[in-house]
Homo-oligomer: A and B are copies of this chain.
Amino acid sequence: MNAPANIPASLTTGKKLLPENEFIAGFHAIGEERYHHLHPFHLLMHEGKLTRGQLQAWALNRYYYQSHIPLKDAAILARSDDPSFRLAWRKRVIDHDGDGNNPGGIEKWLRLVEATGLPRQQALHGDGIVPATRFAVQAYVNFVSTHSLLEAVASSLTELFSHKLITLRVDRMRQHYPWLTGGLDYFNARLTQAPEDAEFALAWVVKHARTPEQQEKAYAALRTKCDILWAQLDALYFAYVQPGWPPPGAFKASEK
């Protein structure tokens, strides 16, 4: 069915099934526009312009996100009736929770928190995180629990973009914040984990998005995930950069 000529093509693309290469290109276009590599908080970070207090606030709040990733992935595991999918996906839980001998991502993030000079207990208890962090992270867990499995998997596709961001971040952190260098193990591990995970998730989404509506829902899921990441940095910027007003009860960053 052709759309009337006076409706822009962009409003009707949802009506036809995109070929695989175009469908994949669409995810990358969303990332170019909405992934948080563009966020002003990250730009300041990579220019070396954040104070130790601002980096503490970032590490502390982001710990809440990190600590909920295996809950998010367990919720996804719980929704699949395909053992081979679960076998592949459970790797993510192990990556973050560890295997009992080797530390996982959560433990490594705690070491990053400590490298900023905050006690790990503060992160473990969530003391002083801004409520907006909590709301955004809970929105992520709720999203994968209440939307289709296709949307839940598609929401993970921000990992398509994370390798480039992490590579830059580690480089700039070594350069600008050498005192943090001992806390960067988390990122080093993600440089191999994230691309593997993204490759699996992308292939799965491409295979399972069989209608134009499903393709559009997969895109919407990735946009929502980008919103979830972006909102966390907006809240950090507001509280700790400009205007610099932490909400009632939140961590107060020192100036230096």
Q: Residues of A with Cβ closer than 8 Å to B?
A: 33-34, 40, 130-132, 134-136, 138-139, 142, 223-224, 226-228, 230-231, 234-235, 237-239, 242-243, 245, 247-249
Chain B nearest CB from A248 CB (Å) reads 5
Q: Are B226 and A248 in contact (CB under 8 A)?
A: yes
Decide yes or no: A131 and B227 within 8 Å by CB, A142-B138, A248-B33 being known contacts: yes
**A134, A136, A248 — most chain B CB neighbours (10 Å):** A248
Residues of chain B within 8 A (CB-CB) of A130 are: 231
Number of copies: 2
Q: Are B40 and A245 in contact (CB under 8 A)?
A: yes
Q: Are A237 and B243 in contact (CB under 8 A)?
A: yes
Main secondary structure on A side of the interface with B: helix
Residues of chain B within 8 A (CB-CB) of A247 are: 227, 230-231, 234
Bound Cα distance A201, B206 (Å): 51
Bound Cα distance A224, B132 (Å): 11
Chain B nearest CB from A140 CB (Å) reads 9
Residues of chain B within 8 A (CB-CB) of A34 are: 248-249
Bound Cα distance A227, B249 (Å): 9
Chain B nearest CB from A128 CB (Å) reads 12
Partner of A235, one of B40, B226, B231: B231
Residues of chain B within 8 A (CB-CB) of A227 are: 131, 247-249
Q: Are B223 and A249 in contact (CB under 8 A)?
A: yes
Chain B nearest CB from A36 CB (Å) reads 10
**A33, A234, A245, A249 — most chain B CB neighbours (10 Å):** A234
Residues of chain B within 8 A (CB-CB) of A138 are: 135, 138-139, 142
A139: nearest chain-B partner, CB-CB:
B135
Bound Cα distance A52, B236 (Å): 27
